[in-house]
Amino acid sequence: MPETFPLTAMSGDWTYNAQPDTIPLDEVRIEIGDVDPTDPQLRDTEINHYINIYGNRGNAAIYAAIACCHALAARYSRKANKAIGKLRIDLSDIAKSYRDQALALRSRSGVTVQPFAGGMDLSDKDAYFQNTSITQPLFTRAMMSINQDETNEPILPD
């Protein structure tokens, strides 16, 4: 099976117009560092695939760039390090660089996770049980209580 990466510059497979403000493909290319036509990393169709997946979200180009970095890290992780005499090419370093870039992009994307411990406040707990749009737990503390109505459903304390 022939080696397909790094790409050779082929008409229509790799484009860069240096217009990241108006062309999402160019914005992704800048973020992943794929702007050198003599050393293309991803084809337009590959980047556009990720742009289409994340296109409806804010920061879509950043999310697409993160996915591209992960794809490139996976690609270079499969390659072996090579040494000929004193010359050494560490492709695993390239994979690590793309993983690091993905982390840096993720921190810029504005995606944050804040832990929430429900039930710590009685008013939160009451609001949770009163909100009918939230899936209620299958098991409750009063589930096996003798205080049940005629439908065998537990009567929860007020």
Stretch 55-79: mean pLDDT:
90
Tell me which residue of 108, 101, 49 sits closest to 72, measured CA to CA. Answer: 101
Q: pLDDT over 90 for what percent of the chain? A: 43
Residue 104's pLDDT is 93
**pLDDT for residue 17 is more than 60:** yes
Distances (CA, A) of 115 to 112, 118, 124: 10, 10, 15
Residue 32's pLDDT is 96
- In the chain, domain spans: 24-108, 118-158
Q: Which two tokens stand for residue 37?
A: 């036509």
Residue 12's pLDDT is 58
